[in-house]
A and B are shown apart, each in its own frame.
Chain A
Amino acid sequence: MIFSAIIPQPLARLPWRLIFLVAGIAGIGIITLYSAAGGSSQPWALKQGLTILFFMTLAVGMSWIREETIRALVFPAYGAIVLMLIAVDAMGFVGKGAQRWLDLGFIRLQPSEFMKPAIVLVLARFYELLPAGSIRQWRAIWPAALMIGVPWFLILVQPDLGTATMVLLSGLTVMFLAGLPMWLFLGGAGLVAAALPIVYAMMHEYQRKRVLIFLDPESDPLGAGYHITQSKIAIGSGGIWGKGYLQGSQSHLDYLPEGHTDFVFATMVEEWGLVGGVLLILAFGLVVRWGMKVAANCRTRFGQLSAAGLTVTIFFYVTINLMMVMGLAPVVGVPLPLVSWGGSAVMTIMICLGILMALERQQRTRNTLT
């Protein structure tokens, strides 16, 4: 390659295809945020660009971390995050209100965000340590169930149904990939279906309302069903080619609520149409495919399971948000990573990508050594 002669080797070895993909998605996000602000880089687009740049650099930096280092840090990190979750819940209990943040003075941390990659890594580590012969035994299940259940419950009572669901789904996917018996998942799915009414009874009033309105948004078009209804109008009215950049009436006239955060996809599709929406979905699809390839190429069990798990985390992030804005899932408050305004989701995704890049780098370096 000509480039390898000019560009220093450490730079040339970066997974540029992934970096371009991520930059492309982030670019779509920034352009959309510029439009959502009524054609202004303030207050969102510029700040979002800087946030993404910062975390992207961080992720690239993470790619030099060795697998052994990650392995060693998994359990302590998981323990620390669970402790932070308990602290958040306790503060919320004292303050008698919803609490998701841990204010450390100079920075506000949202521990539930860290839990998304952490749950994947800790389960991957657990199944790596578990002897191969024990995978069909009881001891392959209960520690993992506990490791998922504790943070899931702590996040659920914050209350943050969206994050709790994602932690649960990522954890279950790792368990599935680890090779636990199939009947466990099929039976579990059956049990969940049977238990749905009980869960519904335990839900918060606002969550229950969201579920009901998800099932029939037109029942309350001006009230709580407003989000879904307006989001569908924005997406549906865009047509194939969209209304044109900065021409979206739903977002510009404030009919679409949360058009720069959770419903940013509706803002984007209104202006760019089916074509823009499909392009964005395909870009995310390529990111996920890259991650799954990394997982498939890993030699170690920890590498396989964590790479697959982190990819699935990204996948769920995107899928739950898109299902939500298109009226296929209840409104649970999951943003579209790299596109929605806000730093938390960017940070989570970049942590996942950083670890994935680290795993990928080690595959290549070993390849070149052999």
Chain B
Amino acid sequence: MRLTAAHQSLAFSRRMLLVGGAQVALGGLLIGRLAYLSVSQNEHYRLLAEDNRVQLIIVPPRRGWIVDRNNRPIAINRSDFRIDLIPEQVEDPKRTLQVLAKLLDLGADEVDRIIREMKAARGYKPVQVAENVPYERYAAVTVRLPELPGVQPMRGFSRFYPAGPAVGHLVGYVGAASAAEYEKEKNPLLITPGFKIGKEGLEETLEQRLRGTPGGQRVELTARGKLVRELEPKPDRSGATVKLAIDAQLQEFAARRLGEESGSCVILDCLTGDILAMVSMPAYDPNSFSDGIGRTEWRMLSEDPRKPLLNKVLNSLYPPGSTIKPMGAMALQLHGVDPTERVFCPGGYRLGNRFFRCLGRHGSVDMRRAIAKSCNTYFYSMGHRIGYDRIAPMARTLGLGQKFDLPVVSQSFGTVPDSAWKARRFKDSPRLIERPDWTASDTLNASIGQGFLIVNPLQLAVMAGRIASGRDIQPRLLGAHREPAPLIGLDPKHLETVRGGMWEVVNGDGTAGASRLPLDGIEMCGKTGTAQVRRIAGGQRGQSGDWRYRDHGLFVFFAPFANPRYAGAVVIEHGLGGARAAAPVAKDVLTFLYDRDKAMASLSALEQQWGGTLAERTARRGQAIEAAAAAAARSA
């Protein structure tokens, strides 16, 4: 075919149509895309534009209070002064820092940190210069503000625990978030100057409730971080107030009463399970931790043989000793032992060719007397009769070996041994004395609270509480409760026998006769215990010699006998014996619940011997630490 100019013109027109069509299609695509972006995606992009435009200078929310069951403060906020710096606004960083270092007495380390943080800061984010600034220094900075652009004096808040060490292990402390904690949560609030998070105890476990929602100054910023204008500030919401089951005054009294001993004290409401006091002493002062603890103080705390960093209520395990004899008596009755049946105690019990000692020669004893006099022979022989596999379930029913549902960072729950446990534990043990099979001597040791059985003081208190009320109480830390717990299903007659034995311990001629309550009509019942720290070697029974090897003294108790309301446990480490070290503490703490003046009088007499009240001794210790830190700084 020959192509002519006419063909060509026709072809041009056709192709023009195609090109024109393509142009219309592309134009339609452009308008469609524009409509898609600005109409259907409008919401999304408007948010992004707003995100670009508006930034929040975070103001940390006020941390929620922690109060006791009567709304008395346990952890509150105290206003303090702080100085921040907004790098963007600083005109002469070098001179500004020089002036601030002089006015606030900053060390070289601090100045280095500020320079580092100023370099890393982006946009409008403030950098902390100093917190907890004394008013005179704060005022000195404030008057020089006109020549220090970018310096921001602020009112801040620091955590304050009025009872100091008395609540240290209970509530823990707060501190600035670490890099790891920020990585985990990625919340910009965590790296805001002045913001603290819970680091231990309730402060840590209740963090989300106590934290609150940050507010702040909303500002319009350019892409380069220049401030354009300030917008409506966003109000912050402070954290929720958390009410504890704790009675703050009782808690503080118990802490003071423990004095210089290394030990713990738990008081429960034996009807509801509310924990009224949970004290571990000695304790660190959470106030000094919350301000940031010095290296010297940390070293002194971690090297102290009385372990002030350890919460002995939850994380120390002890052989309960004779304190579990009431529990044993419950198991014996459940398995058919008649409480009136008598056992003759010649000062011990013979099993094969071994002789298991009793603490005395008690002659013929029934169950009540056996509890009152803490007769080992009775529990050896009866325990041997029914076997420990029948006693262990009762131990568990009464709370031993149990892990409680509590807002705590950790709890060690110990061991209630039985034959199945031992088979598991020593399955591959080649040693002759730690065989996987349960032996009669294992039963004998466990029957008097030694051997494999280990528990924590809270479990002992729960055990006393469940025996006292016959109710299945669960220890509770949060909120004050009125409803009694349901009955645990133990025979009231059995309970009566055991309570009677525990009454005789204190009010009869029992082991703790010296600790009768100095009150009319209110009687304490209890059971003493002594836990060996090391095996009996030679003549030494852990009753003398080096402090570290002395026996632990334990005491479980409840009161009043007629209508039990309170139950608890006291453990005094290396206190030699329950009657001698632990029961007097229980006596004073219970007295405090009924007659505060009387209890305070006996406490002040004791505190005079120890060299001042807890607050005075804490202050003195703080001074000693400061002096040691200063000495360390000088020699470095």
* Residues of A bordering B, CB below 8 Å: 132-133, 135-136, 173, 176-179, 230, 232-240, 249-250, 253-255, 269, 273-274, 277-278, 281, 285, 288, 292, 295-296, 301, 304-305, 308, 312, 315, 319, 322-323, 326, 328
Contact = CB atoms under 8 A, between A and B. Distances in A.
A127 B414 CA distance: 98
Contacts of B30: 281, 319, 322-323, 326
Contacts of A312: 19, 23
Contacts of A301: 5, 8, 12
A232 B45 contact: yes
Given A179-B12, A278-B35, 14 more contacts: A132-B7, A136-B3, A176-B18, A177-B12, A236-B42, A237-B50, A239-B46, A253-B223, A274-B38, A292-B16, A296-B16, A301-B12, A305-B12, A326-B30
Given A254-B223, A254-B224, A304 B52 contact: no
Given A132-B5, A249-B53, A304 B33 contact: no
Contacts of B8: 132, 135, 179, 301
B20 A292 contact: yes
A106 to B, nearest CB: 37
Interface in B36-58: 37-39, 41-42, 44-46, 48-50, 52-53
A273 to B, nearest CB: 6
Nearest to A318: B30
Query: Which 6 residue pairs are nearest across A and B when measured between Cβ atoms?
Result: A236-B45, A237-B49, A179-B11, A254-B223, A236-B37, A249-B53
Contacts of A323: 30, 33
B534 interface: no
A240 B39 contact: yes
Given A236-B46, A237-B42, A315-B23, A176 B3 contact: no
Given A179-B15, A292-B20, A235 B39 contact: no
Contact of A253 (B2, B12, B228): B228
Contact of A232 (B3, B31, B37, B223): B37
A369 to B, nearest CB: 21
B615 interface: no
Nearest to B48: A233
Nearest to B47: A237
Contacts of B35: 274, 278
A288 B21 CA distance: 12
A308 B38 contact: no
B221 A253 contact: yes
Contacts of A136: 3
Contacts of A274: 34-35, 38-39
B333 to A, nearest CB: 73
Contact of A133 (B2, B12, B33, B220): B2
B26 A278 contact: no
Contacts, number: 130
Contacts of A237: 42, 45-46, 48-50
Contacts of A173: 19
Contacts of B37: 232, 235-236, 326
A319 B26 CA distance: 8
B33 to A, nearest CB: 5
Contacts of A178: 12
A235 B38 contact: yes
A231 to B, nearest CB: 10
A250 B38 contact: no
A50 B222 CA distance: 31
Nearest to A242: B38
Interface string B180-216: 0000000000000000000000000000000000000
A278 B45 contact: no
Contacts of A285: 27
Contacts of B4: 132-133
B103 to A, nearest CB: 36
B12 A304 contact: yes
A235 B34 contact: yes
Contacts of A238: 38, 42
Given A132-B8, A236-B46, A250 B52 contact: yes
29 contacts: A132-B5, A177-B12, A178-B12, A230-B52, A232-B45, A233-B45, A233-B49, A234-B49, A235-B38, A236-B38, A236-B41, A236-B44, A237-B45, A238-B42, A240-B39, A253-B52, A253-B221, A253-B228, A269-B38, A277-B34, A292-B16, A292-B19, A295-B16, A301-B5, A308-B16, A319-B27, A319-B30, A326-B33, A326-B37
B92 to A, nearest CB: 25
A176 B49 contact: no
Contact of A281 (B12, B34, B221): B34
A197 to B, nearest CB: 26
A133 B5 CA distance: 8
B293 interface: no
Contact of A326 (B7, B34, B48): B34
Nearest to A239: B42
B397 to A, nearest CB: 60
Contacts of B223: 253-255
B140 interface: no
B38 A240 contact: yes
B15 A176 contact: yes
A173 B23 CA distance: 12
A35 to B, nearest CB: 16
A139 B38 CA distance: 49
A229 to B, nearest CB: 8
Interface string B135-176: 000000000000000000000000000000000000000000
B76 to A, nearest CB: 42
A234 B19 CA distance: 32
Greatest chain B CB density within 10 A among A232, A234, A255, A295 is at A255
B520 to A, nearest CB: 78
Nearest to A328: B33
B222 to A, nearest CB: 4
B105 to A, nearest CB: 40
Nearest to A319: B26
Contacts of A288: 23
A232 B46 CA distance: 10
A315 B20 CA distance: 11
A292 B15 CA distance: 12
B13 interface: yes
Contact of A132 (B3, B26, B50, B222): B3
B29 interface: yes
Nearest to A241: B38
B135 to A, nearest CB: 40
